[in-house]
Amino acid sequence: MIAGSRVLVTGGAGFLGREVCGRLEEAGASDLVIPRRAQHDLTEQQVVRDLLSSTRPDIVVHLAAEVGGIGANMANPGRYFYANAAMGINLIEESRRVGVTKFVQVGTVCAYPKFTPVPFKEEDLWLGYPEETNAPYGVAKKSLLVMLQSYREQYDFNGIYLLPVNLYGPYDNFDLETSHVIPALIRKFITARDSSSPTVTLWGTGSPSREFLYVSDAASGIVTATERYDGPDPVNLGNGREVPIRLLAETISNLVGFEGEIVWDTSKPDGQPRRALDVSRAKELFGWEATVDFEDGLRRTIEWWESTGSKG
């Protein structure tokens, strides 16, 4: 499906997008269209209509999103709901109108209910409401699953929906105000190490758990699904390993050489209690599984930040 196709990749210049675009080129895509936010506000329907009409892609891979860590999510619930819902709705509808052959929607693990049984199975998506601090983002993304399934039923529109767990790796967002947990911890511990700070203060209790997927593995999963999967059901992308936040912090602290004390600010929220995926469906339906070892991925990410990222 990819070989010889024109593929439009929203968010294609970003953290995950650059990896996805590289793999699409390797798979033989004839042309990549990468709309940039400065020229194309995807929350505006007419902008999306003009973009799709002028480029006429065969495949659309929708990666673009507006989201951050717990603090950013709490500060921007309205914006994050609107932006993520509007971008997806506009892109799906306009892709249908111009006859896009396949639409790949990258969703979020934040769509799962707050108290989903671990490991999260795709059929558990509707068991309850998402964790409060990221619910607007999660619900907006989950609504696009309903839209794609509805469009498949009414219009025979081939849209697939993927649920990657928390991503990490080189070129991630390391801004302390908006970053996710791994880049935030890496930056905090390196800054504390370099300034000989005796402590690093982190949010919450450290007791929640998360699962993390290295960015190149995520890109591999997305492109493999684009090539091989055409079903209506959502599919998890992860590595199947659950990591307590306290252990994550201690691991990063050791890897960067921070010798001080970790202090937990229990007045701050923890977020979702546990997060780990059942990843069997991806292997069963399109033969994909993650390959990058977690500690190795952390080392690569730390090395990139110290050698390149921190220097701008």
Distances (CA, A) of 278 to 16, 79, 285: 22, 30, 13
- Name the nearest CA neighbour of 81 among 37, 126, 38, 144: 144
Among 166, 204, 165, 199, which residue's Cα sits nearest to residue 182? 166
Structure tokens at 45: 């329907």
CA–CA separation, 286 vs 221, rounded Å? Answer: 9
Burial of 40 (0-12, 13-18, 19+ CB in 10 A): middle
CA-to-CA distance for 302 and 217, rounded, in angstroms?
17
CB burial class (10 A; 0-12, 13-18, 19+) of residue 177?
Answer: exposed
Catalytic residues: 137
According to DSSP, the β-strands at 6-10 and 59-62 are: parallel
Q: How far apart are CA 304 and CA 254, in angstroms?
A: 17
Amino acid at 177: E
243-244/209-210 β-pairing: antiparallel
- Residue 213's SS3 state is strand
d(CA 302, CA 309): 9
Q: Which residue reads 């892609």 in tokens?
A: 57
Q: Please state the length of the chain.
A: 312
Task: Please state whether the peptide bond connecting residue 119 to the residue before it is cis, i.e. omega within 30 degrees of 0.
Answer: yes
C-alpha distances in angstroms, 200 versus 81, 191, 249?
32, 9, 10
